[in-house]
Amino acid sequence: MNETASAPLTEEQVYEALKQCFDPEIPVNVVDLGLIYDVKIIDDWVGVKMTLTTPGCGMSGMIAQDVRNRVLRLPGVKEADVRIVWEPAWTPERMSADARKRLGFAV
């Protein structure tokens, strides 16, 4: 298959791919947890700005690498950059309604 002839990658495709990434301590994907703050696509480069539920998360490197690897699997992506940021701070309100329900937060 010729990737250069394929349609350009969309943010929606990146978000769908990231729904396969999970915090190993929480059974909800990083998108529904509200951890993904921004996705930028420039040619064959994808940048993801994300946070974690707590700054002291010992799994931060593993989660960021999982996000990067997942993005790199998308057709046409040659480079991926994942930045973990702490502002704005994550809160449970960033979660999808389904994630809040599954984790026992008031919806």
Residue in this structure with the two tokens 């539920």, named with its chain if needed: 53
Quick one: tokens of 13? 């495709």
Alpha helices in 52-91 (DSSP H): 60-72
Q: In this structure, what token pair is assigned to residue 103?
A: 């984790």
Q: Where are the beta strands (DSSP E) in the chain?
A: 36-42, 45-50, 79-84
pLDDT tens string 36-47: 999 999 999 999
Does residue 3 register a pLDDT over 50?
Answer: no
Domain boundaries, the chain: 9-98
The sheet with strand 79-84 has its strands ordered as 36-42, 45-50, 79-84
From residue 102, alpha-carbon distances to 19, 65, 94 in Å are 15, 25, 14
- pLDDT higher for 84 or 4? 84
User: In the prediction, which pLDDT does 18 show?
Assistant: 98
pLDDT of residue 56: 85
| 62-89 b/e (C-beta count within 10 Å ≥ 16 → b) | ebbebbbebbeebeebeebebebeeeee
Q: Which pLDDT score is estimated for 99?
A: 94
- The hierarchical CATH code for the domain 9-98 is 3.30.300.130
Q: 0.95 cut: is pTM over it?
A: no
